[in-house]
Amino acid sequence: MHNQTAAVSNRHLLHEAEAYIRQFGIELGRSSEETNHRIAQIAADIEATGTYVHTGEELAYGAKLAWRNSNRCIGRLFWDALTVQDARSAETEEDIVKAIFHHIEYATNGGKVLPTITIFAPSAEPDRPRIRIWNEQYIRYAGYKQEDGSVVGDPVSLELTEACERMGWRGAGTAFDVLPLIIQLGDEPPRLFEVPKDIVLEVPLVHPDMPAFEELGLRWYAVPFVSGMRLEIGGLHYTAAPFNGWYMGTEIGARNLADPFRYNMLPKLAEKMGLDTARESTLWRDRALVEMNVAVLHSFKTKGATIVDHHTASKQFTLFAEKERQNGRTPTGRWSWLIPPLSPATTGVFHTRFDDTELKPNYYYQHAPADL
Ligand code: ARG
């Protein structure tokens, strides 16, 4: 980098760092001496090396704030209870995969899901990641294009599945094959790792009072681990910072299994239910949708896997917003994401307006890896 460009980016980094360290100090009750001292130290580190290193506490609180600031997330009441695994010392792909497997086991916790994040070493530039996990989630099902153009499995995974196949992987070809992980260090060739079956908790879907539902052969994985997003704290870019919460039922029942461009199961379920699908006005889609969501919630409960229904989640979000106000902060949120895709107007969030200001720290989408 030219000296002048370096100076500009150093100034920008210090500016971001200072804003975060001040917020950290205020919220955690640190003295202004301590905060000023830390900022001076960071300024010196940036001057000398072009970057700085978060303390364990700064890292952990930053990850929590990034969750608290995630305007699209309805589950933020629990932001302060995030478990943070500091994996910045993981250097090889093997080290990284080991931390990922530990994350999966710890957070799955036999079904009693624990919101957890694993944070790997940051990158100097957001667009030139030092570590990148190609998968958008640790656990997702493969999608296979058939000769007739139809898809077996999850259409959202078509590209990643093809990338895995180019790297020599072959799935069983069912609608629910868990994809392997692809990890890439800098510009090195990406490497592929199979996730051990015994650490992946899945829930076969059944309906409490419709035995025939089981014949659809549906299942879903218990925990959503978002692994493709970048965590930004105090100007540092953690391009590999996978995190998980627990599912809200509608994510699976009203989107993953219902969207026409995903598993598209409503027509098949309506048929099992004996509904008249010839006319939209029978509301067969809506009736099938409700029963699909009943089955998801019931099956997770039966299996002992944490899940929240959208009514409870909406109430929890209202409580989160109240708590934020009590602490002198304006809660931020994006209405179009906070409302559930099933019966939205029956929930409180539907009838509330939100300030969609984007605060930092936060989680951001990243470009798909160049070779994907
Ligand atoms: N909507 C995504 C999915 O269905 C998961 C996103 C994160 N969800 C969560 N409850 N933390 O897989």
The CA distance from 134 to 185, in Å, is 11
pLDDT of residue 1: 58
Tokens of 338: 């906070």
Cα torsion for 343, 344, 349, 354, to the nearest 10°? Answer: 170
pLDDT of residue 4: 85
Q: How far, CA to CA in Å, does 143 sit from each of 57, 66, 140, 301?
A: 40, 31, 10, 27
Ligand 1 close to Cβ of residue 337 (< 6 A) = no
Tokens of 236: 């540092």
- Please report, in tens digits, the pLDDT of each residue of the chain (372 residues total): 578 889 999 999 999 999 999 999 999 999 999 999 999 999 999 999 999 999 999 999 999 999 999 999 999 999 999 999 999 999 999 999 999 999 999 999 999 999 999 999 999 889 899 999 999 999 999 999 999 999 999 999 999 999 999 999 999 999 999 999 999 999 999 999 999 999 999 999 999 999 999 999 999 999 999 999 999 999 999 999 999 999 999 999 999 999 999 999 999 999 999 999 999 999 999 999 999 999 999 999 999 999 999 999 999 999 999 999 999 999 999 999 999 999 999 999 999 999 999 999 999 999 999 889
Answer whether 240's CB lies under 8 Å from 131's CB.
yes
Q: Helix or strand or coil: residue 315?
A: helix
Ligand 1 close to Cβ of residue 247 (< 6 A) = yes
Tokens of 169: 């992987």
pLDDT of residue 124: 83
Ligand 1: residue whose CA is nearest its atom 10 = 247
pLDDT of residue 125: 87
Answer whether 351's CB lies under 8 Å from 357's CB.
no
Among 82, 223, 227, 251, residue to substitute to test ligand 1 (most atoms within 8 Å of Cβ): 251
Q: Helix or strand or coil: residue 107?
A: helix
What is the whole-number distance in angstroms between the Cα of residue 168 and the centre of ligand 1? 29
Ligand 1 close to Cβ of residue 67 (< 6 A) = no
pLDDT of residue 222: 99
Q: Helix or strand or coil: residue 320?
A: helix
- What is the secondary structure of 219-232 as a DSSP string? EEES--EE-SPEEE
What is the whole-number distance in angstroms between the Cα of residue 224 and the centre of ligand 1? 5
Tokens of 333: 């949120």
Nearest to 60 by CA among 81, 33, 42: 81
7 CB neighbour count, 10 Å cutoff: 12
40 CB neighbour count, 10 Å cutoff: 10
Ligand 1 close to Cβ of residue 259 (< 6 A) = no
Cα torsion for 154, 156, 159, 164, to the nearest 10°? Answer: -50
Ligand 1 atom closest to 245 (CA): 11
| pTM for this model (two decimals) | 0.98
The CA distance from 227 to 208, in Å, is 33
- Please provide the distance, in angstroms rounded to a whole number, between the alpha carbons at the two ends of the chain: 28
- What is the secondary structure of 47-78 as a DSSP string? HHHS-----HHHHHHHHHHHHHT-TT-S-GGG
Write out the catalytic residue numbers. 73, 76, 246, 251
The CA distance from 191 to 6, in Å, is 33
Tokens 């539907």 map to which residue?
Answer: 350
Residue 353, by phi and psi: left (phi above 0), alpha (psi -120 to 50) or beta?
beta
pLDDT of residue 171: 98
Answer whether 313's CB lies under 8 Å from 75's CB.
yes
Tokens 């190609």 map to which residue?
Answer: 134
The CA distance from 138 to 182, in Å, is 9
49 CB neighbour count, 10 Å cutoff: 10
